[in-house]
Structure 1
Amino acid sequence: MLSENEINRVLVVTAHPDDVDFAAAGSIARLTGRGVEVTYCVVTDGDAGGFNRELDNGGMAQLRRTEQVSAAKAVGVTDVRFLGYRDGTVVQSLDLRRDIARVIRQVRPDLVITHTPERNYRFVSPSHPDHRAVGGCTLDAVYPDARNPYAFPELLRDEDLDAWTVREVWLSGGQTPNHHVDITDTIDRKLDALRAHDSQVGHMEDAEGFVRGRFSQVAMEAGLGEGRYAESFQRVTTG
């Protein structure tokens, strides 16, 4: 397992704008607060989400990209990349594995954070099909694709991207987390990031109360006690 001082660069790969902020923005704020370089790779533009259907035909996609860039800044992230896949139609594919492997080789992270590829029967929201497809492709891109110089040889031949080995992956949204990050000191920055996604949370009567309640429960389940907030992950070492 990586120790904190071994994490210098982090890549977060998610399906939609706002996924990282619901799952991990408090942890990201802790990382950037101690100087870690964090990059977001968002597979879709989130054009199939939101509640204002007047923004169909591309308007919602542009809005959600803008919201994600603003949310990232709230937790100290300025490198946000979009792959442009269609929201709601993502499947595990060689193309997506290659595109994620490309970003891994560009960023060269110590740690990758992404979705669990498994369905969560306890709490269904993390089990969106796009989430599971992105999580599965990201794990495949981490091992074996990004580290294997013979995988997607065009990345080396045409783009001069050498193989890179990611040392650890944190999966969000699963039923069996084994790593809990105390985000009590960064919960306000997580809330600021989520507020940037007005198209997704603007309709909620008490979005802050929902978020505080959800991540207070996570902290209690992690044994951190009352008055604390936490985000949880499954840590996967990559050998």
Structure 2
Amino acid sequence: MTATAQTADEGGTAPRLAPMPQEWTRALAVVAHPDDLEYGASSAVAEWTADGKEVVYVLATRGEAGIDTMEPGEAARVREAEQRASAAAVGVSEVEFLGHRDGVLEEGPALRRDIAAAIRRHRPELVVTINHRETWGDAPGSPWNTPDHRVLGRSVLDAVGDAGNRWIFTDQLEQDGVLPWDGVRWVAVAASPAVTHAVEVGEEAVRKGLASLLEHRAYIEALTDEDPETYARGIVLGGLDRYARLNGGRRSVAFELFPC
């Protein structure tokens, strides 16, 4: 059986997720909006940075269309600040924003170009992104995914190949002095309905992951009337416990892994 296959548990009644690869030192997380990583994946990031791995965040937008009661310019300022604080909570110090418009991301060369440039600059072995599939689950009636997430995730998968091809986006090599990078070994898709691999997370990583979501307080308070801490605990712990059932009872963050 291959390393990417799911295995049965001891009783033979449930799938078991394979462990995420650990043979890497640099990761680049590329998502559409502030908060995309904090709805689960940030606990894995906390484990990685605590283990000495380097992680950089790149966001396609500033999330300026995400708060109905806040004018987009102000929302962009608030949400960018919240994202930087959220990243710091899990040990990430470098956060970049590509400046694409929130809510209307377009799949095509312009977005791929910017993502490929980020990959060429940071030269990761692992790229992390958000669910690009049509729904958030695989059961009938699962919630429909948003256009930005679908576009961003597919563009990331395509841009990994672009980054390694010296005949695509050649101006980056000539003007910016970056070199092609074909060293990405895996793309890990968070919140996918087709997860294959898991990262076990300890209590400290869970605490940091929860703290990272709570940094998005303005967004959460606009999203729900529920107490922010109660809301965040339900989201983060609910996801980790759901994947624990596929990982020997251990709280985990799960990904769909694409070898490159």
Per the TM superposition, whether the score is higher than 0.5 is: yes
TM-fit CA distance, 1:94: 0.2
1:230 equivalent to 2:239? Answer: no
Percent same amino acid at aligned positions? 35
What does the per-residue CA deviation read over 1:55-87, in whole Å, with 9 as the maximum and x for residues that have no partner?
Answer: 304000100000000000000000000011111
Which of 141, 145, 148 is matched with 1:127 structurally? Answer: 145
| 2:216 alignment partner in structure 1 | 197
Q: Pairwise CA RMSD of aligned residues?
A: 1.7
Q: Which runs of 5+ in 1 are unaligned?
A: none
TM-superposition CA deviations, 1:70-113 (whole Å, max 9, x none): 00000000000001111100121100000000000000001000
DSSP 3-state at the match of 2:103: coil
Question: Is 2:58–2:98's contact at 8 Å kept on the other side of the alignment?
Answer: yes
Q: Within 2, Cα distance between the matches of 1:77 and 1:69?
A: 8
Counterparts of 1:57 and 1:188, CA distance in 2 = 31
Distance across 2 between alignment mates of 1:232 and 1:126:
20
Query: Aligned partners of 1:223, 1:39: CA distance in 2, in Å?
Result: 27
Deviation at 1:209, TM superposition (A): 2.9
Q: 1:217 to 1:57 in 2, by over 3 A?
A: closer
Give, in whole Å, the separation in 1 of the partners of 2:136 and 2:254. 16
**Mapped contact 2:65–2:72 kept (Cα < 8 A):** no
How much does 1:174 deviate? Answer: 1.6
Query: Distance between the aligned counterparts of 1:201 and 1:218, measured in 2?
Result: 24
Partner residue, 2:28: 11
* Superposition deviation, residue 219 in structure 1: 1.3
Number of residue pairs matched by the alignment:
231
Structure (1 or 2) with the larger CA radius of gyration: 2
Q: Which amino acid aligns with 1:139?
A: L
Q: 1:46: which partner in 2?
A: 63
Aligned AA (1:146): A
Partner residue of 1:85? 100
Equivalent in the alignment of 2:9 = none
Matching of residue 187 in structure 1 with residue 211 in structure 2: no
| Residues 55-64 or 202-211, more deviating | 202-211
| Whole-angstrom CA distance in 1 between matches of 2:89 and 2:144 | 23
TM-score by length of 2: 0.84
Distance 1:20 1:27, change over 3 A: same
1:224 Cα deviation after fit: 2.5
For 2:210, the aligned partner's letter is L
Name the CA shift for 1:34/1:184 in 2 (closer, same or farther; >3 Å). Answer: closer
Is the contact made by 1:219 and 1:230 (CA closer than 8 Å) also made in structure 2?
yes
User: How far has the Cα of 1:159 moved from its partner?
Assistant: 0.7
1:68 equivalent in structure 2: 83
Query: 5+ residue gaps in structure 2?
Result: 4-19
> Equivalent residue for 1:117?
132
Q: Give the 3-state SS of the residue equivalent to 2:99 in structure 1.
A: strand
Please name the residue that 2:169 is paired with.
152
Residues in 2 aligned to 1:173 and 1:211: alpha-carbon distance in whole angstroms: 12
1:168 aligns with 2:186: yes
